[in-house]
Amino acid sequence: MNKRLFLKSLGLGLVGFPLSSSILPESPAKKVLLPNALQRGDKVGLISPSAATADRIQFKFAQETLEALGFEVVLGLHWKNRRGHLAGTDAERAEDLNKMFADSSIKALICIRGGSGAARILPLIDYKTIQRNPKPILGYSDITALHCAIHTQTGLITFHGPNGTGSWNSFNVQQFEKMFFEKELVAFENEQVKGDDLIVKQNRIQTIRSGKASGKILGGNLTVLTALSGTPYFPDFKNSILFLEDIGEDPYKIDRMLSTLALNGTLSKIKGFIFGQCTDCSPSGGYGSLTLDDILDDYILPLNIPAFRGAMIGHVSKQFIVPVGAQIEMDADAGTFRLLDKVFQK
């Protein structure tokens, strides 16, 4: 994921954008809106709201994956388009999303990939239509911009999880089936495989501060989330559980972004904290560096709230499908969290 391109596109691309008249009246927090349920045989829409997909075989992989899950796939009109690093113009990418939500025959939207560019289309999204036609939307990384904006403007629960071109191994497929087909109140616990070592080292949880907490789970990719600070699309984190993940960021950048969340008041509002995976986030050189442990201790420990790191959330092959905006309970000592209420209308 190229965060630098994302930040550049956010800073330059939104200049001169009028706020769409479809944005709903601003309020501290919308009432939670449950999406309609999914079942095998439904039509689902495959869209490209962020970066372009360079390898054409990836389009086929995404379509075949959804068909293997039991869906009839409807392709976005512009899903193979390209403008620079983006999957088409802002208007084209927003049009595909808006049409999929407006079409009552399409029961869910799956994002083919992340990358960068989703924030550019936020003013062009028809939030009123989304509120009238609540349906699941699935994706992660740059799709955090859509999760934040849609939940903030409509209250709709969305789903942070594998993109269409991501890994659909047995773990992810089982997560999907439990969530969407079986409508379970899913309990999220890391899969641990001992392998040929004396002790379990993979997917280990680290408790930052002990305890349990419950609240609405909000968050996503740290870079994308903090870039929305100060906009109408940044969520209200009051009494929430904040979850974060990232990739390819030096610790000093993680420090800067957590500083933003502290300075804008987010961290002072939350009741619990879950840090997923920070893939390839080792220091790249220079005079010296704080560790990720140091940074999380500096920002999270003083909050005196339950907190843990190491959840299977982020740029990893096996990942949780997190219903953004759902009520959960977390246990920082066990390194687990679970749904407290249903996330679908029926």
Please say whether the dihedral angle defined by the alpha carbons of residues 297, 300, 303 and 305, taken in this order, is positive or negative.
negative
**Distance from C-alpha of 145 to C-alpha of 290, rounded to nearest angstrom:** 28
pLDDT class of 23 with cuts at 50, 70, 90: low
What's the per-residue H, E or C state across the chain? CCHHHHHHHHHHHCCCCCCCCCCCCCCCCCCCECCCCCCCCCEEEEECCCECCCCCHHHHHHHHHHHHCCCEEEECCCCCCCECCECCCHHHHHHHHHHHHHCCCEEEEEECCCCCCHHHHHHHCCHHHHHHCCCCEEECHHHHHHHHHHHHHHCECEEECCCCCCCCCHHHHHHHHHHHHCCCCCEEECCCCCCCCCCCCCCCCEEEECCEEEEEEEEEEHHHHHHCCCCCCCCCCCCEEEEEEEECCCHHHHHHHHHHHHHCCHHHHCCEEEEEEEECCCCCCCCCCCCHHHHHHHHHHHHCCCEEECCCCCCCCCCCCEEECCEEEEECCCCEEEECCCCCCC
- List the Cα angle 262/268/274 in 5-degree steps: 85
Please say whether the dihedral angle defined by the alpha carbons of residues 156, 160, 163 and 168, taken in this order, is positive or negative.
negative
Catalytic residue among 50, 116, 141, 240: 141
Mean pLDDT of 177-181: 96
**Distance from C-alpha of 137 to C-alpha of 268, rounded to nearest angstrom:** 29
**Distance from C-alpha of 310 to C-alpha of 321, rounded to nearest angstrom:** 15
Q: How far is CA 251 from CA 28, 219, 281, 333, in A?
A: 32, 19, 6, 25
Q: Exposed/middle/buried for 16, CB within 10 Å: 0-12, 13-18, 19+?
A: exposed
- Strands 187-189, 336-339: parallel, antiparallel or unpaired by DSSP? antiparallel
Q: Is the pLDDT score of 119 beyond 90? A: yes
- Residue 14 is predicted with a pLDDT of 40
**Distance from C-alpha of 203 to C-alpha of 194, rounded to nearest angstrom:** 10
- Residue 194 is predicted with a pLDDT of 76
Q: Is the pLDDT score of 27 beyond 90? A: no
Q: Is the pLDDT score of 25 beyond 90? A: no
Mean pLDDT of 182-203: 89
pLDDT class of 8 with cuts at 50, 70, 90: very low
- What are the structural domains, with CATH classification, of the chain? 3-181 (3.40.50.10740), 187-339 (3.50.30.60)
Is 315 labeled as catalytic in the residue annotation? yes
- Residue 153 is predicted with a pLDDT of 97
Is 229 labeled as catalytic in the residue annotation? no
- Residue 199 is predicted with a pLDDT of 86
Catalytic residue among 9, 147, 315, 329: 315
**pLDDT tens string 231-259:** 999 999 999 999 999 988 889 999 999 99
Query: What percent of the chain has pLDDT above 70?
Result: 91
**pLDDT tens string 66-112:** 999 999 999 988 878 899 999 899 999 999 999 999 999 999 999 99
- Residue 29 is predicted with a pLDDT of 67
- Residue 321 is predicted with a pLDDT of 97
- Residue 19 is predicted with a pLDDT of 41
**Distance from C-alpha of 336 to C-alpha of 191, rounded to nearest angstrom:** 11
Largest Cα span, the chain: 60
Arithmetic mean of pLDDT over the chain: 90
Q: Is the pLDDT score of 167 beyond 80? A: yes
- Residue 80 is predicted with a pLDDT of 84
Mean pLDDT of 155-163: 97
Mean pLDDT of 204-213: 96
Q: Is the pLDDT score of 4 beyond 60? A: no
- List the Cα angle 56/82/47 in 5-degree steps: 70
Q: Is the pLDDT score of 224 beyond 60? A: yes
pLDDT class of 18 with cuts at 50, 70, 90: very low
Catalytic residue among 78, 95, 116, 245: 245
- Residue 282 is predicted with a pLDDT of 82
pTM: 0.90
- Residue 22 is predicted with a pLDDT of 53
Angle, helices 292-300 vs 251-263, to 10°: value is 10
Q: Is the pLDDT score of 43 beyond 80? A: yes
Q: Is the pLDDT score of 186 beyond 60? A: yes
